Amino acid sequence: MISRLLNLRQYAGGPHFDRPFTLYFELEGTVLELMLPASDAKWQDPPRPLNSPFNASGWFEEHSERNNLNDFVHLHTQIWYYFHVRFSRIIRLMAMGTNEPMGSLSLSVQLNKLKDSRKLDLANPRSLGDYIKWEYDDYYESPERGDYGKGRNYEVRARENQMLARQGEWYRDRYEIALKSGLHPTPEHFDLRDFGGGLWTCFRLERPWHLSTQYYCIPLSESYYLQIDIQLLFHVTDKNRGILEPDMLSAAEWLVQHIKITFPGKPEGPLALPR
């Protein structure tokens, strides 16, 4: 797989598998280990603490930020850009990112806290997927509009259903297009995947603007879970996607295979794999 990535390609950049490095995160008795290939991208994200005592009073609230769905603590992000080969000489002379890339692969790690005092059933492997499904539906299907896109899907459906009722069946094609482009994607299918020392809840979200994200989530306690996102972004054309996607998917699987998680303080606890 790696040899294929290193062969002559129609693009430059991407992960440098010959120069990997390893990060370790201490997560209240759980240790996350990530081996990542080097990147030419100069990611200007401020350093984050690798020791994350999220159960300490006030720690999560002090370090958390907001995205369009929940409050989270960002732990790490790594980005790998892909450029046309004809730009490779220019890129070596200039900083990465000054030319429009064909696409990018990114990995991000964050710590999430359950909302509304909800708790996971750590004896039930499906509990985390059930919660994530509830969280997306509760947020995007809310009749109450709010910041960060809250209620967006409810509003889009209500508007388009009203238009369909008013305009009749001839509006059906426009209705389907509006839903596809207007709705925020929500997870419908969850897989349980055993890798790296843990049982992960996995799902994928596809967005119409050439963006695909695979999510890997694992409980850390009844109230917190770890989320790793691996995102494929294709710029400008479907041709770029056709060129990049096979190698990007192989690189994404390499990243997954080099995730390791251990629970030294609770080897027989609820996070242990089911027998």
**pLDDT, tens digit, for every residue of 95-123?**
444 567 889 999 999 999 999 889 999 99
What 3-state DSSP class applies to 57?
Answer: coil
Q: Are 195 and 206 in contact (CB under 8 A)?
A: no
Q: Are 50 and 74 in contact (CB under 8 A)?
A: no
pLDDT of res. 97:
44
What 3-state DSSP class applies to 20?
Answer: strand
- CA–CA distance, 181 with 116 (Å, rounded to integer): 30
Whole-model pTM? Answer: 0.86
- CA–CA distance, 41 with 109 (Å, rounded to integer): 17
pLDDT of res. 273:
45
Q: Which residues of the chain have pLDDT under 50?
A: 1-7, 88-89, 91-97, 267-275
pLDDT of res. 260:
96
Q: Are 261 and 24 in contact (CB under 8 A)?
A: no
